[in-house]
């Protein structure tokens, strides 16, 4: 039984209420369709469970939901909090806008609030550094110190807005089995490319001067991990509503992704033909998407991944969970020097 978020590789936590499924502190379920999700408390993403035990777990969740008095419900969606701390989200047959508001509203809203707060703190810290060091520079009357001062302040502010460029956001497994880390700086190279064999898109990204072209389920899985870092400031309720309308206008998440990729590819080709080159930021880059497009793509890719799993490709979902567990283990050890690892190994052996 997996215990790591598919998207951020953080622990999903545990509960002592659902005996057949003790993973997670927030569970969403659709009893009529037999779907069970674990909602990550860190990134707010919904992890679809492929386990065979989910039917019994869904029955337990449904019973617990009906038995608790601490619940809020609409006609199609309900929220209940148990005394033990487990939160249950019961899904019936909501329309897409209502479902999107429950499923994505918290994620984008909280992400926006958190990143705005962090950015504000970073800018304030940058201002403090600039003022403090400028006074020192004035006292010393050294122009180069002043220049370095503002460089430090700029770096602090930029890092608050864009994040630390060396942070590892995910990893890519090559056909040969090797794993390449993708840092936040690599996100600028990520591009949407036309899909193959009916897939709506592929991903091209460069890490350590090596280009990777990913298609199929692997591209969908990779995009779900890249987009939250590209779209660090989430979205407003208006962004979510416009994103839902855009998806509904073309009929499905799959159709939306295909249309967007084709449109961006035409834009890039127009630049090449008209201007003799792709001037400025590439039109097919993930970072070139508008705020509403980023929200829509993140929603559509997430639902596209689930569509694959629910149409019989559960083996792909199992592998995705296994990769998440492995990447989580890699991430836990990224910052540990060999000396610390050897000490931990001896301690484990002693126990």
pLDDT of 194-211, one tens digit each? 998 888 999 999 998 889
| DSSP structure class, residue 120 | H
Res. 187: pLDDT tops 90? yes
Q: pLDDT band for position 33 (50/70/90)?
A: confident
Specify the pLDDT at position 327: 56
The answer to whether 284 touches 261, Cβ cutoff 8 Å, is: yes
Specify the pLDDT at position 138: 46
Give, in order, the Cα–Cα distances in Å from 78 to each of 2, 17, 30, 205, 268.
Answer: 26, 18, 11, 40, 45
At 196, give phi and psi (nearest 5°).
-125, 150
Res. 295: pLDDT tops 60? yes
CA distance 137 to 167: 32
Q: pLDDT band for position 144 (50/70/90)?
A: very low
Q: Is the dihedral of CA 301, 201, 231, 40 positive or negative?
A: positive
Q: pLDDT band for position 306 (50/70/90)?
A: confident
CA distance 188 to 201: 18
Structure-token pair, residue 222: 């990779």
Specify the pLDDT at position 147: 45
Q: How many other CB atoms are found less than 10 A from the CB of residue 90?
A: 22
Q: Which of 125-129, 162-166, 214-218 has the highest mean pLDDT?
A: 214-218
Strand 26-30: give its sheet, edge to edge. Answer: 46-48, 35-39, 26-30, 87-91, 77-81, 71-73
Burial tier of 233 (Cβ tally within 10 Å: 0-12, 13-18, 19+): middle
Specify the pLDDT at position 329: 56
> What DSSP element (H or E) covers 212?
strand 210-214
Report strand pairing: 46-48 vs 35-39: antiparallel
Specify the pLDDT at position 45: 85
The proportion of the chain whose per-residue pLDDT surpasses 70, expressed as a percent, equals: 66
Specify the pLDDT at position 129: 46
């Amino acid at each position: 039984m997996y215990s790591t978020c598919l998207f951020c590789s953080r622990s999903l936590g545990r509960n002592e209420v659902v005996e057949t499924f003790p993973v997670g502190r927030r569970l969403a379920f659709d009893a009529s369709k037999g779907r069970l999700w674990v909602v990550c408390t860190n990134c707010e993403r919904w992890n679809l469970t492929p386990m065979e035990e989910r039917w019994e777990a869904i029955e337990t969740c449904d019973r617990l939901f009906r038995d608790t008095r601490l619940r809020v419900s609409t006609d199609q969606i309900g929220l209940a909090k148990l005394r033990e701390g487990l939160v249950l989200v019961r899904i019936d047959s909501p329309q897409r806008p209502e479902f999107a508001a429950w499923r994505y509203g918290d994620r984008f809203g909280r992400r926006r609030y958190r990143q705005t707060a962090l950015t504000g703190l970073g800018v304030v810290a940058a201002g403090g550094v600039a003022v403090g060091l400028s006074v020192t520079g004035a006292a010393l009357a050294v122009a180069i110190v002043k220049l370095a001062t503002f460089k430090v302040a700029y770096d602090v502010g930029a890092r608050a807005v864009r994040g630390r460029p060396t942070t590892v956001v995910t990893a890519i497994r090559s056909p040969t089995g090797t794993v390449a880390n993708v840092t936040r700086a690599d996100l600028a190279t990520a591009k949407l490319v036309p899909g193959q064999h009916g897939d709506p898109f592929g991903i091209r990204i460069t890490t350590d001067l090596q280009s990777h072209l990913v298609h199929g389920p692997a591209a969908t899985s990779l995009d779900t991990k890249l987009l939250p870092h590209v779209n660090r400031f989430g979205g407003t309720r208006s962004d979510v509503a416009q994103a839902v309308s855009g998806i509904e206008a073309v009929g499905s998440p799959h159709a939306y992704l295909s249309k967007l990729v084709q449109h961006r590819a035409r834009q890039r080709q127009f630049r090449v033909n008209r201007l003799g080159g792709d001037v400025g930021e590439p039109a097919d880059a993930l970072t070139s998407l508008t705020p509403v497009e980023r929200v829509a793509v993140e929603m559509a890719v997430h639902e596209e991944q689930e569509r694959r799993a629910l149409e019989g490709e559960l083996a792909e979902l199992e592998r995705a969970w296994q990769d998440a567990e492995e990447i989580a283990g890699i991430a836990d050890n990224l910052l540990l020097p060999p000396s610390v690892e050897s000490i931990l190994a001896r301690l484990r052996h002693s126990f």
